[in-house]
Structure 1
Amino acid sequence: TADLPEKEVRKIIPLNRFGVVDDVAATVNFLCSEEQSYIHGQVIGVNGGLAI
């Protein structure tokens, strides 16, 4: 993918955009909250749906 233009790379990501720091931060914030108290031992991909 290093040789592909940015627009072409975005086309293969289902959300059609690159992730930003806030995308990861929101996931970390959720995982540190009480709302996630029943989630254990999971790998959570913050990847815009690329690994579906």
Structure 2
Amino acid sequence: MQINLHRKHTIKNYISTKESSRMEILSFDQCGFLLYKIVCFRKAKKDK
């Protein structure tokens, strides 16, 4: 519980240091989604 709280606080600090915090979060989410899609695509290719 304590570690999770600390992690959230660290992320909050990281975001607040950024000038366009909302854009940073958006771009990070898009990168993560793209990575997820690539992994799924590779898995599907392997199964065939």
Alignment TM-score, normalising by the size of structure 2 = 0.33
Q: Which has the higher contact order (CA 8 A, sep 6+)?
A: 1
More helix by proportion, 1 or 2?
A: 2
TM-score, normalised with respect to structure 1: 0.31
